[in-house]
Structure 1
Amino acid sequence: MKVTGPSFVSNDELGFGRGLVWMALSMISFIGMSIGSRELASSLSIQQVLFFRALVGLIIILVLARKLLPEVREKKMLRLHFIRNIVHFTAQYFWTIGVVFLPLASVFALEFTMPIWVAFFAWLILGERLTGPRLLATIGGFVGVLVIVRPGISMVDPASVFVLLAAAGYGLSLICVKQLTQQCSAGAIVVWMILIQLPLGFVLALTDWEPVHWHTLPWMVLAGAGALSAHFCQAQALRILDASVVIPIDFLRVPMAAIVGYYAYGEFIDVWVLLGGAIILFSNYQAVMTDRRNRAA
């Protein structure tokens, strides 16, 4: 008589599941950061939005994550931390312009041209091979962008260009984070992000300072906590999963943002945004699945 033993979940499956949980938390946090940033920008300058986001993040770290400070004092890969955060800060500035002036779904759909830049910078910096599936994903991403912005149909919103520049910056930043995770914990990466970006935000905020009122405090907390949580969760996911897996999962932010924009701001769900986002998502999904099949073979 054959006795069937208990079934166990493999370590790979458990790791993949944990990576998915971290990505889900990251997506929710990014949406929260977007809402808080948009509300803040209604009464403050964009420079102030970036500054207060970082300030709230610093307060949270000092209260909850002081145990990370010894690791931070070791100053591992400090030069790369500075490069990553200067690029990321600039990308955040462009991205926040998009959040203020474009529907949320459009911002996230355009932001997800990032895999194009991730593939390019991975080839340029990490020496990764540009495979056929990744080239097809790049072409698909470009087609998706054309569907969303539809040049020639109407004047392209300048805010869309800023979001595309932000996507390039995020792509380079992601490659830097992947390198940083080799020696630094996700928490230390986020702490350095706050320590470097806070003074940058403060200096820029002084150039366009608007009066700050108490009613903006909840939005500061939402934007700051959301930003901190989003990048921590994303860094945790990158420690577990390949970047080529993390980014396509992150595409789910497009429909999430469309739903939030519809209910919170009454934004019309543009069929062209959804169609372009679907093209970008499908192209990258096919590339990831093909790469995984090839590696398994």
Structure 2
Amino acid sequence: MFYRSLIGIVLVLTVGTVTGSLRQVTTRSPHIHFIRNLSHFAGQNLWFFAITVIPLAQVFALEFTSPLWVTLLAPLVLQERLTRTRAMAAVLGFIGILIVAHPDPSNLSPGVIAAALAAVGFAGSALFTKLLTRTETITCILFWLTIMQAVFGLICAGYDGDIALPSATTAPWLLLIGCAGLIAHFCLTKALSVAPAVVVIPFDFARLPVIAIIGMAVYNEPLDMAVFLGAGLIFAANYSNILAESRKRVVT
């Protein structure tokens, strides 16, 4: 996470300088930036841990519950009303979580817990990003994202005075993770700014079958049909909620 953020800083400063958008960086909302980035940093670390201990398809399916947490937490953070449709979507999504996670109270996997909590962290990040977009530009949000998370990463990696340096083997992968992570943040934010969520979100869910195939082909992970069934319910919950919101905007 530390090296990923350092790479992100270089990218943001380079692109911001070339495009002249660095002047858009403000210090208006440091507390919201802090909460947003702390939430995302926690979620991302939990996600990184989860992918090392449970199948990739299971991690991604649980990650897709993030919009449902946004639905439940939006009344607290954004003062948005929790409608009947949103509540039903949350219940349907929770059923999907149970199918994906195969919960056994006596032996609940740490990886499943981490993936589920990562979704909560990503939801918090999304909610406070929404708050920030009311007053700040994408460049400003990405600037503070990389700066703050580099500090968080430095503290967590270096609290014991021992930060591992990249090797010839790991450096290219760290560079790829840093570039891909920042580009993904930019692309999703940009996509939602120019296209309806009802169009964007189904494309995001296409990651699940893709990653399931990669997990099977590269890491010999089994294809669990329960994961796809649960993910289908989670997708249906999110999609029905988005459709209802889209119809509501058309009517108004």
TM-score, with normalisation over the residues of structure 1?
0.76
Q: Does 1:69 align with 2:22?
A: yes
Q: Does 1:278 align with 2:232?
A: yes
SS at match of 2:166: coil
Amino acid at match of 1:224: G
Give, in whole Å, the separation in 1 of the partners of 2:178 and 2:78: 31
C-alpha displacement of 1:257: 1.5
SS at match of 2:103: coil
Q: Does 1:59 align with 2:10?
A: yes
Q: Deviations over 1:110-136 (max 9, x none)?
A: 011112210112111222121222111
C-alpha displacement of 1:153: 9.3
Q: Deviations over 1:138-194 (max 9, x none)?
A: 011110111011123983211111111111111111011112112222122111100
Amino acid at match of 2:12: I
Larger radius of gyration: 1
In the alignment, structure 2 segments of 5+ residues that lack a partner are: none
The residue number in structure 1 matching 2:37 is 85
C-alpha displacement of 1:95: 1.1
C-alpha displacement of 1:244: 7.4
Q: Deviations over 1:203-261 (max 9, x none)?
A: 21123644531111110111100111111112223333566775555222212221222
Structure 2 CA distance for partners of 1:211 and 1:78, relative to 1, 3 Å = closer
The residue number in structure 2 matching 1:181 is 133
The residue number in structure 1 matching 2:186 is 232
The residue number in structure 2 matching 1:24 is none
Amino acid at match of 1:97: F
TM-score, with normalisation over the residues of structure 2?
0.89
The residue number in structure 2 matching 1:134 is 86
CA contact (8 A) 1:115 1:247 kept: no
Give, in whole Å, the separation in 2 of the partners of 1:54 and 1:258: 27
Give the CA RMSD over aligned residues.
2.1
Give, in whole Å, the separation in 1 of the partners of 2:211 and 2:135: 34
SS at match of 2:71: helix
Q: Does 1:106 align with 2:93?
A: no
Give, in whole Å, the separation in 2 of the partners of 1:152 and 1:204: 32
Q: Does 1:252 align with 2:252?
A: no
> Which aligned pairs between 1:172-211 and structure 2 lie closer than 5 A?
172-206=124-158, 207=160, 209-210=163-164
Number of equivalent positions: 247
Equivalent in 263, 267, 280 of residue 217 of structure 2: 263
Give, in whole Å, the separation in 2 of the partners of 1:194 and 1:211: 19
